[in-house]
Chains A and B, each alone.
Chain A
């Protein structure tokens, strides 16, 4: 029978905490960047300049339909070729935020499309500019609708951040993997890792629910 060694978990706890710190750091920075990228993409796609929308569309489709692992490798090995020597953490953040940003931009687009067209026309009729319409009228409404899918994208981001350990970033998954493979503590490390990842994603899910409840417009059931 397998003997569960709880002492090992306690001994390796300082390393695990460091790993958690790095995972949270990468996730937070990437989610902020991803949201900014998503807003930019969603806005650029709504400007009707043909070359811009075509290029953005191509980038979105390319990013959505290739594995994140390959993208990580491409940014990690490819950026030095154009003279950008970044640390592995920076490469990880760049690829994670681009990948998640593209997915969030699709969510945003669905949210913006669900806003009735009359709202847009009315705003333009009141003399608001394109950016003002976006900022003051359509975006605040779309944001309320997209909060649940947005939350699940951030949860995916936390889970995807485990892949940066393959470009030599010592994040939570790296610590767990090293402990498991070097010291043969598979079940200890698996259960610890599972609990920590569940806690991290659980926190995001909790706050998503909270914000959704807080921002809800009374009497309006919103969903895409």
Chain B
């Protein structure tokens, strides 16, 4: 076995991991924002808007991510910018476009689960649509959606490995570069797999913990604390 390949190239692998984590965190923030916007639009009562948002969601969800990555990098970005974009930019945009559709579906599910009483109460308090969304509906919906969102973001982290196919030197690609030189593929691949497993596994353990803890309990704890303060 050639495990020393890993130690000799450890810095290079870690710089790749840093790129992966950067890409993942930017894409998570971007897709969370875009996903909430699309989910709210999909949930809206204006038929044209909800139809358009629904069409975007269904279109995106039925196409492989790799198609987006390749065509955003080689097709769309050069057309828009008149010059090739960086690998990082295209990968990030593709991941945001792809994941935001999934996030939008989760958001829609969360919004549908809101009790109508909350909305009526907010309306009777004189809040307009925007204030109702920001102050009443989204906070409840987002806490309910957290486990689903976390597992979606776990698959986003796994999906960043696909950016290696257009040439972005992230974690997977940095491993490929090493074993293309040394020809000892298996050791590097196992190391990469275990690293992904550590990151994603700890996140999924977190999501399981969140799932077992209903949002009501957390709210009641908060209420207790507020009462103690008052």
Contact = CB atoms under 8 A, between A and B. Distances in A.
Interface of A: 2, 61-62, 64-71, 73-74, 77-78, 81, 155, 159-160, 162-163, 166, 173, 176-177, 180-181, 186-187, 190, 193-194, 197-198, 201-202
Contact of A78 (B67, B159, B189): B189
B71 A186 contact: yes
Contacts of A160: 64
Contacts of B192: 70
A81 B165 CA distance: 25
B70 interface: yes
24 contacts: A61-B201, A61-B204, A62-B197, A64-B200, A65-B158, A65-B196, A65-B200, A67-B162, A69-B165, A70-B161, A70-B189, A71-B193, A73-B189, A74-B190, A74-B193, A78-B189, A81-B186, A155-B62, A159-B63, A173-B66, A180-B75, A186-B71, A186-B74, A201-B62
Contacts of B70: 177, 180
A162 B189 contact: no
Interface string B147-165: 0000000100011011011
Determine chain B's interface SS by DSSP, over half rule: helix
Nearest to B66: A162
Interface in B69-85: 70-71, 74-75, 79
A68 B158 contact: yes
B90 interface: no
Given A70-B189, A159-B63, 12 more contacts: A64-B204, A65-B197, A67-B162, A73-B189, A78-B189, A159-B62, A160-B64, A180-B75, A181-B74, A187-B75, A190-B71, A198-B62
A155 B60 CA distance: 13
Nearest to B197: A65
B49 interface: no
A125 to B, nearest CB: 31
